Amino acid sequence: MAARPQVHITGASGAGVTTLGAALAARLGCAHLDTDDFYWHPTAPPYRVKRSVDERLARLHEAFAAASSGWVLSGSIGEWGAPLLPLFDLVVYVYTPTELRLERLRRREAETFGAANVAPGGPRHQEYVEFLDWASRYDHGDRPGRSRALHEAWLAELPCPLLRVDGARAIAELVAEVAEVVEARPR
């Protein structure tokens, strides 16, 4: 591995990918980058307008270049991120059982958008229900977008090492496990 860690952490929505990414980057003393910050234009409310693939990739390359101590990229990149694959020293796939993911997503959505906004009768309730339904179908792969089958196919093609971790474990344990792998790789 290069002297600067270049790690990608991915998994289903609510798996704990961003939490692990931020904690690992802090442990390694490098930048934490999240794909949502590159995929979406900033809007209020968020997650409304996608950036073009070219813009996403250009912004990511700029962020990577600016991260002199290395980086941890959390989130999903799928097919649009294929040009990034040669940059990764390690990919970490976080698998978390559906019920735990949905519990986390309910909490996150209420914190992000306000509990009253996602509650029945709230202005974001229908969108909230649809999002949770989509997220609940990850293992089934019967909805458009991210699914376990798509992730598994993507992971099978990686040109770098892959580490699978259980997202139900304590974040401190996961950080220690991943950091040990990162730090043990040749520099």
CA distance 167 to 94: 5
Break the chain into its structural domains and give their ranges.
6-97+146-184
CA distance 112 to 69: 30
pLDDT reported for residue 187: 65
The pLDDT tens digits for 38-95 are 999 999 888 889 999 999 999 999 999 999 999 999 999 988 999 999 999 999 999 9
Q: Is the pLDDT of residue 109 over 90?
A: yes
27-54: b or e for each residue (b if 16 or more CB lie within 10 Å)?
Answer: bbebbbbbbeebbeeeeeeeeeeeeeee
The pLDDT tens digits for 122-145 are 999 999 999 999 999 999 988 888
CA distance 52 to 67: 23
Assigned CATH topology for domain 6-97+146-184: Rossmann fold (3.40.50)
pLDDT reported for residue 141: 83
